Structure 1
Amino acid sequence: MNLILTILSALGSFIVTNVDDIFVLMLLFSQARSQAQTSNSGVVSMESKGNRIFPRDIVIGQYLGFALLVLISLLATFGVTLIPDQWVGLLGLIPIYLGVKLFIKGEDEDEGNILSSLNKFNKFYLSVAFITFANGGDNIGIYVPFFSTLNNSQLIITVVTFFIMVAVWCLIGYRLARFKYVSETLEKYGRWIIPIVFIGLGIYIMVENETLRALWSLVD
């Protein structure tokens, strides 16, 4: 497999496993932008100022979550399996929890402070990392067999390509969030859209990894 073919294969694998991440990133960047506009207008509480979310938090969290996915995929490729596939789906509880939390708190918070309710201990990037990792649980099932077909140099090229694409994905999500129609829609309905997306994402993760079936088998 030559260099160009390796890169193209890496691009294909990344794109098909991370299309849904663009929408999540768009939502997060849109809310961060809305919060920044509220802060700049002067209509913001002291608590909100302390919990300000920056786009870099989203980027850092995306990289951390994706790096963990790649690390686990590499370990599994070399025969080290840390977590059975069906239990990876338990990570779906994280976005479900965040979504429910937003549903409960969103009614009482201004538009610029929606993300602040997820910014516990001022480490919002960790929330993003957990969401990215949970949403990418099914990626492992694709990356492991793909990685196993590569030699060491091809593996390095693939991983580098993946991490470059994370930056591209963040840029696309950031740009989409700045479109007038998108930003206005999310500004108007964001307090409902984001919780629904998070809860739906969590349920999807658990169903996709057959976690619900595994839990049911323990009870049955």
Structure 2
Amino acid sequence: MNAGIIGQAAGLFAVTNIDDIVILALFFAQGAGHLRIVLGQYIGFAGILVVAVAAAFGATFLPEPAVPYLGLLPLALGLKAAWQVWRDRADGGGDDDPPARGGGPKALEVAAVTFANGGDNIGVYVPVFATSGTSGMTVYVVVFLILVAVWCLAGRFFATRPLIAGALSRWGHILLPLVLIGLGVVILVEGGAFGL
């Protein structure tokens, strides 16, 4: 493999996915379910790659005007998580006693957030894939899939650092819904969904 294209792929992945580390750390901070988080991250990112590769070959599974509406996925998951926090608080949980999440997020929840957050990545990946040819595109895809594992390890690493873990343990159940809702709103607004 050409070292230049590997470096370009790694750089492109890092630039387009830096926000995923924060989201992954929030997911990992919820406790159990680490395998589900990694599986969900791979499913969501594989969806991004399938759409980007298909579009690079001229097929479009997802019409461009539909991309901004992907923001509805993290928005809905954020509202669901906020509802859970509010319900647990109403049942007697306090700020010092974060609610249990029942083993962390499900793989499809993580996949939905990953895919929705990657809608803008598709727009970046398509021209790069289209101009790199089949062999170059293969290198990009392989490097990206390897880096998904690195991103999962980084998210887990940050979630287990004592200072960060303490903050996420105390505030993560509140921060996750806020981040997901914010992410959904940003995707909707920046994409011009609903005429915003």
Gapped regions of structure 2 (runs ≥ 5): none
Q: Is residue 2:66 matched to residue 1:87?
A: yes
One-letter amino acid of the structure 2 residue matched with residue 207 of structure 1: V
Q: Is residue 2:95 matched to residue 1:113?
A: no
One-letter amino acid of the structure 2 residue matched with residue 107 of structure 1: W
Assess if the C-alpha contact under 8 Å between 2:9 and 2:143 holds in 1: yes
Other-structure match for 1:59? 38
Q: Which has the larger radius of gyration?
A: 1
Assess if the C-alpha contact under 8 Å between 1:138 and 1:208 holds in 2: no
Question: CA deviation digits over 1:38-88, x for unaligned, max 9?
Answer: xxxxxxxxxxxxxxx410100000000000100000110011112222312
Q: Is residue 2:136 matched to residue 1:154?
A: yes
Among residues 85, 99, 108, which one is paired with 1:126 in the alignment?
Answer: 108
Question: CA deviation digits over 1:61-120, x for unaligned, max 9?
Answer: 00000001000001100111122223122121111111112222213436352365x85x
Deviates further, 171-180 or 103-112: 103-112
Question: CA deviation digits over 1:105-164, x for unaligned, max 9?
Answer: 213436352365x85xxxx10010000000000001100000011122221111100000
Q: 2: CA distance between counterparts of 1:85 and 1:197?
A: 25
Aligned identity (percent) is 41
Q: Is residue 2:106 matched to residue 1:138?
A: no
One-letter amino acid of the structure 1 residue matched with residue 38 of structure 2: V
Q: 1: CA distance between counterparts of 2:62 and 2:181?
A: 23
Q: 2: CA distance between counterparts of 1:139 and 1:115?
A: 31
Gapped regions of structure 1 (runs ≥ 5): 33-52
Q: TM-score, normalised by structure 1?
A: 0.80
Q: 2: CA distance between counterparts of 1:104 and 1:74?
A: 37
**2:131 match: secondary structure:** coil
CA RMSD of aligned residues (A): 1.7
